[in-house]
């Protein structure tokens, strides 16, 4: 768990996931810059309290963070990783438009984000 905490602590951007109405903290998402010459790439990470998974909070928070990555931060690509056995996490990344690039590795380009996000606006 210390490794996970250190990874999140190194993030450039954090977004707390809190319940509307109560403000109860249930998780967070973050972006870590990746060292890629000639490309702005970020790594998306997320953790939600197990009692609040499967309710759309992760999707909403990750979409907001991806909007920041491809908007204000001008990312060319966002990557993320999860164990393939973590089916809910794999489905979340797929729902957001990420494609598999290797065992447990996923990526989303600016063009893919723009295409995927068109169907989620208004």
Domain ranges (residues) in the chain:
2-118
Q: Residue 87: which pLDDT band, with cuts at 50, 70 and 90? A: very high
The domain 2-118 is placed in CATH, from the list 3.20.20.70, 3.40.1190.20, 3.40.630.30, 3.40.30.10, at 3.40.630.30
| Amino acid 1: pLDDT | 43
Q: Which residue has tokens 């009692």?
A: 51
pTM of the model: 0.84
Q: How confident is the model at residue 11 (pLDDT cuts 50, 70, 90)?
A: low
Cα–Cα dist 66/23, whole Å: 22
- Tens of pLDDT, residues 25-73: 999 899 999 888 888 999 999 999 989 998 999 999 999 999 999 999 9
Query: Tokens 């939600």 — which residue?
Result: 48
């Amino acid at each position: 768990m210390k490794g996970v905490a250190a990874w999140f602590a190194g993030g450039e951007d954090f977004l707390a996931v809190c319940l509307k109405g109560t403000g109860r903290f249930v998780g967070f998402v973050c972006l870590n810059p990746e060292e890629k010459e000639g490309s702005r790439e970020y790594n998306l990470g997320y953790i939600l309290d197990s009692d609040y998974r499967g309710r759309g909070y992760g999707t909403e928070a990750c979409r907001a963070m991806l909007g920041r990555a491809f908007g204000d931060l001008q990312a060319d690509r966002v990557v993320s990783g999860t164990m393939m056995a973590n089916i809910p996490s794999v489905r979340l990344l797929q729902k957001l438009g990420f494609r598999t690039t290797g065992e447990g590795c996923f990526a989303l380009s600016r063009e893919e984000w723009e295409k995927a996000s068109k169907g989620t606006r208004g």
